[in-house]
A and B are shown apart, each in its own frame.
Chain A
Amino acid sequence: MFDFVKTVLIALPKGFYTTFKHLFKKPVTLQYPKEKMPMAPRYRGLHYLEKYEDGSERCVCCGLCASACPADAIYMEPAENEKGERYSEVYEINLLRCIYCGFCEEACPEEAIFLGHEYEFSNDSRDAFIYTKGQMLANRPTKEKPFKKIIRKVRRIF
């Protein structure tokens, strides 16, 4: 009986006061397609392939990313250009297999592949998720990932 009275006289008004307080707080809703969350710098989204300053590709088709890939998502075919440098003729990532772990980025000795910040790439056909080299090169962000320099420094140590 005492408990009941306590509930009615103390707990109930307290509860009502709590919700009332929250009525005047600013909503936390993000109007998604219009506004977007700022991504963390290390966010792992859609991949892109990096180029040298002179515009040639960094990737030498060594296959380390493919062997590091736990999801077996990367497929490549090597070729040589007229200067005798290896490059990848075909370089595909199956985005439906990929788990966005970032191991490829870590394995790459040439700092060629990176995971970008893009995450809106839904599509309605499965074929569209085979992500080709051309797309990956085109996907390079104009701004460098802020921590890329750090990655390079760390790589030089090991």
Chain B
Amino acid sequence: MSTVTFLIVSAVKVTVIVTVVLMGVAWATWLERKLLGRFQHRIGPNMAGPYGLLQPIADAIKLIFKEDIVPDKAEKITYALAPIISFIPALLSFAVVPVSDTLTIFGQKIDMVISDLNIGILFVFAVTSLGVYGMVLAGWSSGSKYSLLGGIRSSAQMISYEVSYGLSIIGVILLANTLSMVELVEQQDSFFNWFIFRQPLGFVLFVICAVAETNRSPFDLPEAESELVAGYLTEYSSMRYSLFFMAEYANMIAVSSVATTIFLGGWQGPILPPFLWFVIKVFFFMCFYIWIRATLPRLRYDMLMNFGWKVLFPLALANVMVTAFLQRL
């Protein structure tokens, strides 16, 4: 592939993926409100368009027209940067997620992944952990006690869950012998080769840590509406506020895609086109997220820490050891 075609193809891929992800983010909010409503015997949004499908657009317009308030005590520059810092990493991790099989268009073989890094998984983990800086900085720069508490909580939570998060996929890597996402998907070619069946404990740990990683209920302590107003985004308004929300949902989609890729066989699946399989699996995962939110109450802070260090961490370590041992046999 010549340099020019490469550039064009990459630009197209990036544009398409970013657009699709942003759309996904918008309608993930709709999905969450709708599903959560049904879980609680409500209807959810139903006024804007059929089934309330235009609700995200209405919300976006509303948020854009809101006044952008910057508190007097805020550190202006950091305050402005924090939403961006938390939003960009959420998008970055899509760079290595293969969404479909290799396509052939105009005689060109095109990988349906923006970049097939040989350290794809590491890249994802590095980038998603960056997002927490956005929260910490937001909490610190707002000059408000609730924000600060939220920021501190998010960093403490991140430290305790990042370890198990990383360890939970070591098992998969040991089995697969690769860090590249594309190769991982290729190895899960039949249903029972999916890593969810070869690494069930790893999958459970991964899901738990992923929920904690994206600050979703029951691990939504940095936001904790009932204790901290809105945690790190208390002082934010308008588009900056919505950037945080987009970051949250983009992170959810990112984590769902990564989980799909690592454990659920990525785009692999019969009959339907590979891309559709990928979307279905991600959708399933997003619904699961919402289901968790509808079911579990928020953990107390000390429980969260206990759970992270005393339960998840040993389990993850044990999982790695057993896998390594079995692999060696």
Contact = CB atoms under 8 A, between A and B. Distances in A.
Interface in B257-291: 291
B41 A22 contact: yes
User: What's the dominant secondary structure at chain B's contact region?
Assistant: helix
B42 A29 contact: yes
A4 B314 CA distance: 14
Interface string A1-39: 000100000000001101110110111110000000000
B296 A27 contact: no
Nearest to A17: B295
B37 A27 contact: yes
Given A4-B311, A15-B295, A16-B291, A22 B39 contact: yes
A12 B295 CA distance: 9
Nearest to B288: A16
A27 B43 contact: yes
B311 A22 contact: no
A81 to B, nearest CB: 53
A18 B296 CA distance: 11
Nearest to B38: A23
Interface residues of B, number: 13
B140 to A, nearest CB: 35
Contacts of B294: 19
B291 A19 contact: yes
B295 A19 contact: yes
Contacts of B291: 16, 19-20
Contacts of B2: none
Contacts of A22: 38-41
Contacts of A29: 41-43
A17 to B, nearest CB: 9
Q: Which residue among A15, A19, A22, A25 has the maximum number of chain B CB atoms within 10 Å of its CB? A: A19
Contacts of A20: 291
B39 A23 contact: yes
Contacts of B38: 22-23, 27
Contacts of A25: 41
Contacts of A4: 311
Nearest to B35: A23
B41 A27 contact: yes
A18 B40 CA distance: 11
Contacts of A16: 291, 295
B147 to A, nearest CB: 31
Interface of A: 4, 15-16, 18-20, 22-23, 25-29
22 contacts: A4-B311, A15-B295, A15-B296, A16-B295, A18-B295, A19-B39, A20-B291, A22-B38, A22-B39, A22-B40, A22-B41, A23-B35, A23-B38, A23-B39, A25-B41, A27-B37, A27-B41, A28-B41, A28-B42, A29-B41, A29-B42, A29-B43
* 9 cross-chain pairs, A with B, having the tightest CB-CB distances, nearest first: A19-B295, A29-B43, A27-B43, A28-B41, A19-B294, A15-B295, A27-B41, A29-B42, A16-B295
Given A19-B291, A22-B39, 12 more contacts: A15-B295, A15-B296, A16-B291, A18-B295, A19-B294, A22-B40, A23-B35, A23-B38, A23-B39, A26-B41, A28-B41, A29-B41
